[in-house]
Amino acid sequence: MASKSALLTCPMCPFAIPPTNTYALELHFEQEHTLDSPFKIIDDPEAPTPSTVVEPSESSKPEDVTSDEDDDNYVLCPRQDCGEDLLLTDLDDHLNFHAAESLAGDDEADSGQPKMQSLTEESTPSFLQQNFTSEVPNALRHTHPKKIRRKRGSSGASEKSTLSRSILSFIPFSAKFAASVTKQPISSVRLGRAELGPYAWEDKMPKWLHRQLEEGPRITVVNRIGRDGRLIKQENVQNETPGVIPILAQLSALDRSVKEAYYCHPSTLHIGKTPKEGGFCGYRNIQMLISYIQGARAQGHDEFPGRTPGILKLQDLIESAWDKGINEIGRQQTGGIRDTRKYIGTPEAQALFLNTEIDCSVDVFSDSPDGQLQAHDQLSLAVEKYFQQAAVDDGSNVYKTLLPPIYMQQPGHSLSIVGFERRRDGTCNLVCFDPMFHTSPSMHRLRGRRHLRTPRPEVMQAYRRTARQLRRHAAFEILM
């Protein structure tokens, strides 16, 4: 036996091994003294990790708090400048959208770089899909296998996510109903991380983030020469991009696989997040609806003078709606949202618009119990019907309407639907503004152009949501 003086000892504890087994010492250090080690298996799904927020102890929680068991199906985006918590099933597409976000092009000429492949029903797997997967082992998910919800009607090989918090708990559901202020069920309870995100128990967001949101996005002024030769001063807002919808409409018209397409009012801005702010997608989508109201001078535009209201202002408006009894159970469920990073959803968006006396309606889609009627199919049909009501035949296969965009809530994330494409093979795409991502340099190059001649599917990829992507979810909500 080796003498004690010849043993290799751990610098952090009394653990010691013979000098011939250095790997065992390295493994010991990883497992016992490295918090974020991939070798460390955490059996308790509630154990805190560096990327999560420690919630109150059991003794400090309200007695009627719901379980947080499903929040372990989420993973933090590996991009340092993102900060989003994602469903594991959405990770591959999320990283693909980050790639599309960085896409650079030279107007209509090829840039010399390989173009990204459009993720359509017929496309072959991308390099990312072929070489990486979101199928993470259970040990690294920090979750118990029994807590993973399986796709209904499947063999269990894939997951199908559903809404963790639904408008159905606020308003009695019927196939067609108008949004109205109703008395809320007494049985609703304080929600946790599964519904409100990793900061469900946060009293106040960090000071640096509050200051960033209070200051608002960076605004720069650019001097341009107009067509008449005069100098024009143009303001550019850091996270707002105007003029995207007319370009998307042209690109749909140039795509031979698209039978017909519809688009909402062109004044709708694409509004993304600011650096490192994390998951404020609900607020950003509300901002996109407000940008339509402002640009189209639609009902309620007097309520939103000047620039697009910031996140802190939207929080005040939602809290004000609760004060008036509009979806007030949301305050009990969230514990209040002012100056926090708690996730919001359709109930809060509805409360805000009802509070400002703006007409809106909500619809809900979910898989039928027998699995024959899929939520994404119902959603697509409803969106198509919505746009068809205002379509005017001008000889083109792309119909440009003056309708508002649609707020869409899917499990774990929300988007703004600005268009719809029906393909010649019968499949369809939702065209969406996603607040998780910025407008790509390639799209910036195309903005303002009126006569595009070359299809750009790699540019469209950032905005299309195909049936392949949507069918992963068992439920959706829309606010119109």
- Verify that 305 and 215 share a domain, yes or no: yes
* Paired residues of 220 in beta bridges: 236
Helix, strand, coil proportions of the chain in percent (round to 5)?
A: 30, 15, 50
Residue 356, burial from CB neighbour count under 10 angstroms (0-12, 13-18, 19+): middle
- Residue 226 belongs to a domain: yes
Residue 461 lies in a domain: yes
List the structure tokens of 383.
């969106």
- Give the whole-number percent of the chain exceeding pLDDT 70: 68
Angle at 435 between CA 124 and CA 284, to 5 degrees: 155
**Is the same domain home to 133 and 31?**
no
179 and 264 assigned to the same domain: yes
Domain tally, the chain:
2
Comparing CA positions, the residue from 74, 94, 42 lying closest to residue 193 is 74
Give yes or no for residue 271 having a pLDDT over 50.
yes
Token reading at 385? 């019907």
Long-range contact pairs involving 323-330 (C-beta distance under 8 Å, separation at least 24): 324/355, 325/181, 326/181, 326/351, 326/354, 326/355, 327/170, 327/181, 327/184, 327/351, 327/354, 328/184, 329/169, 329/170, 329/184, 329/185, 329/188, 330/170
- Please report, for the domain that includes residue 461, its CATH number: 3.90.70.130
Q: Is the pLDDT of residue 269 over 90?
A: yes
Q: Are residues 457 and 341 in the same domain?
A: yes
Classify residue 51: in a domain, yes or no. no
Residues 297 and 443 in one domain: yes
Same domain, 23 and 154: no
Both tokens assigned to 197: 């995100």
Do 264 and 399 lie in one domain? The reply is yes
Residue 479 has pLDDT above 50, yes or no: yes
Residue 64 lies in a domain: no
- How high does pLDDT run on average in the chain? 78
Residues 254 and 298 in one domain: yes
Examine the domain organization and report whether 22 and 136 are in the same domain: no
pLDDT (average), residues 358-369: 93
Question: Facing residues of 420 across strands?
Answer: 262, 430
| Residue 193 main-chain phi, psi, to 5 deg | -65, -35
Same domain, 15 and 80: no
Residues 25 and 93 in one domain: no
* Residue found under tokens 């990883």: 30
Confirm whether 107 is domain-assigned.
Answer: yes
Mark whether 255 and 379 lie in a shared domain: yes
Could you give the count of Cα atoms lying within 13 Å of 322 in the half-sphere of its Cβ? 21
What pLDDT does 95 receive? 73
Phi, psi values for residue 9, rounded to 5°: -115, 150
pLDDT tens-digit map of 414-459: 999 999 999 999 999 999 999 998 898 999 999 989 999 999 999 9
Q: What is the pLDDT of residue 20?
A: 66
Residue 479, Cβ neighbours under 10 Å: how many?
24
292 in a structural domain: yes
**49 pLDDT exceeds 60?**
no
**What is the C-alpha to C-alpha distance for residues 195 and 278, in angstroms, rounded to an integer?**
16
| 47 falls within a domain | no
* Residue among 369, 378, 384, 368 at smallest CA distance from 423: 384
| Dist. CA 345–CA 330, nearest whole Å | 10
In-domain check, residue 282: yes
The residue segments making up the domain with residue 211 are 75-479
